[in-house]
Structure 1
Amino acid sequence: MVVVCLASAKGSPGVTTSGLALALTWPGPVVLAECDPSGGSVAAGYLQHLELDGGRGLMQLIVAELRGQAREQFWSQLVDLDPPDRRRLLLPGIANPNQAVSLDPNWYRLASFFASLRQDIGLDVIVDCGRLVAPHAPWPLVHQADLTLIVVRPVLASLLPARALVQTLLADTVPGGQLGLLVVGDGDYDDRIVSWHMEVPVMARLPSDERSARVLTHGGTVKTRQPLLRAAAAAGSTVAGRQEVEHADV
């Protein structure tokens, strides 16, 4: 089982949409954890039809962790992304970006808790980290993840700031695990050029699919036959399978 972080360097390359597409098509039980310090968006977007009251999620889990009750309260903080399956779940993020400052001293606790989910109950975790260059970014989650995917679009305006972030991560040796790229949409460069320029491999690619992206952003019915969801299913199987092999070799 794996912990995978998705993050970006600048702009809106599609981190949340990509994370949600992966979670909805992941090959096993999975939690999409919204750890973007700018706030979560899935509850108010894709799940807006549920009219969630905001009484569960990331902040409540952290409070439970501080009380030593995270394991007991974990399941009650989740929302089913694909009811009644209970295999694809969401840990909603903070509702107000002003809450991000209180997350800073607790990212390490959360990283350890996610690692324990992987080890103890066989639950994969996809972490939406948002922009790692933003204030209060969840760096400890990246440091303890099995894999960090930097989400980029294959255009220079996306690749240049992402390269600076990748270089920072490489200098930090990414203590938790591997580093790679998730390329979203079409642009000026193919995967070979992107990988060469960024100095890390392209591990997955998702196509431009405005119809599916609109549903994942604003709500509606997901069609798994659409290009984005098909590609996400293939990417998830590749990433999850690759990480399982890595763990087996350790």
Structure 2
Amino acid sequence: MAIVAMVSAKGSPGVTTTALACALSWQGRTVLAECDPSGGSILSGYLSRLEIPPIGLLPLAAAALRDQLAETFDHQLVDLDAKNPGQRFVLPGINDTVQAGTLRPTWESLTKFFGQLEHRDSGYDVIADCGRLATSAPPWPLLFRADLLLLVVRVTTLRTIAPAAGAAEMLRRELTQYGQGPGGLALALIGDGPYGRRDIEQRLQLPAVLELPDDRRTAEMLSDGGGRLRGSERLLRAAASTEPAVRDAITRRRAHLEPTTSSGSSRA
């Protein structure tokens, strides 16, 4: 599958919870990379019961500057699934927004490396939690390179939907200027509200590839830790059911880009 990046307009629509639900329920070897410049939250939330040393994205960025990504990567991962070890990992994010400046010059190298992970002997898909666009330093190289870029929108009210319109337009513009076009941009819809899927797709001029219910009990467990997930929770079942649509969208996107790529486009 390669890289699925998730981002939101602003606020807290549930990007991390969505990314974690997918990482825990999709098939195959998966790395959830916390690439939010505002900081990661899985170590202090879902994995807060564990004592984990300071590993993750920041040491990996330092390795990128030394051209040692391949040697360092595996040591920066935390296994998410004790019952099925070696399949689902998290690459913890930064814990201080000041560190975002350290990451900025390494996003190109990190993104290229993430894109190569599916071709390893024991390849990984990467789900990148990129946080909110309303920051001073979004990880643009990663957003441009993603095989599928999902704009996460909570659909409970018009107030939660409206900010996504501006974000969708900005992403379409940036992707077009970069040379990718907006064909890899889609929606991840969270919760229920007065507007149906088709209404939201029409308003935002984007297709919805992923829909998850507002399962607050499971979302709180993913966000704050505590309790034990059984894998049968409504949120996890719904996340698992979205995987075929996500893979189909990536396959179509790659087929569309293949002629351009082979003739020497700017695709990273």
TM-score by length of 2: 0.88
Q: CA deviation at 1:113?
A: 1.1
Q: SS at 2:7's partner residue? A: strand
Show structure 1 runs of 5+ residues with no match: none
Between 195-204 and 175-184, report the one with greater CA deviation: 175-184
- State the partner residue of 2:161: 159
Distance 1:180 1:59 in 2: 29
- State the partner residue of 1:14: 14
Distance 1:132 1:111 in 2: 18
Q: CA deviation at 1:233?
A: 0.4
Query: Which deviations, in whole Å up to 9, do the C-alpha atoms of 1:120-139 show, x marking residues without a partner?
Result: 45310000000012111111
Q: 1:217 aligns with which of 219, 223, 226?
A: 223
- Asked if 1 retains the 8 angstrom alpha-carbon contact of 2:147 and 2:253, the reply is no
Distance 1:245 1:166 in 2: 20
- State the partner residue of 2:129: 128
- Asked if 2 retains the 8 angstrom alpha-carbon contact of 1:146 and 1:243, the reply is yes
- State the partner residue of 1:78: 77
Distance 2:243 2:48 in 1: 25
Query: Which deviations, in whole Å up to 9, do the C-alpha atoms of 1:38-57 show, x marking residues without a partner?
Result: 11100111111112122x10
Q: SS at 1:48's partner residue? A: coil
Matched, 1:98 2:93: no
Q: CA deviation at 1:171?
A: 1.6
Over the matched positions of the two proteins, sequence identity in percent amounts to: 45
Distance 1:237 1:222 in 2: 23
Distance 1:60 1:8 in 2: 26
- Asked if 2 retains the 8 angstrom alpha-carbon contact of 1:223 and 1:229, the reply is no
Query: Which deviations, in whole Å up to 9, do the C-alpha atoms of 1:69-127 show, x marking residues without a partner?
Result: 11111111000000252110000000111111211222111111111113445310000
Matched, 1:199 2:205: yes
> Number of aligned pairs?
249
Distance 2:24 2:245 in 1: 15
- State the partner residue of 1:139: 140
Query: Which deviations, in whole Å up to 9, do the C-alpha atoms of 1:120-174 show, x marking residues without a partner?
Result: 4531000000001211111111001101000001222222211111111112235
Q: Report the AA paired with residue 138 of structure 2.
A: A
Show structure 2 runs of 5+ residues with no match: 259-268
Distance 2:215 2:19 in 1: 15
Q: CA deviation at 1:245?
A: 5.1
Q: SS at 1:50's partner residue? A: coil
- Asked if 2 retains the 8 angstrom alpha-carbon contact of 1:34 and 1:127, the reply is yes
- Asked if 2 retains the 8 angstrom alpha-carbon contact of 1:78 and 1:92, the reply is yes
Matched, 1:240 2:240: no
Q: Report the AA paired with residue 239 of structure 1.
A: V
Distance 2:215 2:230 in 1: 12
TM-score by length of 1: 0.94
Distance 2:2 2:115 in 1: 8
- State the partner residue of 1:171: 173
Matched, 1:180 2:182: no
- Asked if 1 retains the 8 angstrom alpha-carbon contact of 2:148 and 2:249, the reply is no
Q: CA deviation at 1:187?
A: 1.3
- Asked if 2 retains the 8 angstrom alpha-carbon contact of 1:3 and 1:114, the reply is yes
Q: Which ranges of 4 or more aligned residues in structure 1 deviate by more than 2 Å?
A: 118-122, 172-177, 244-250
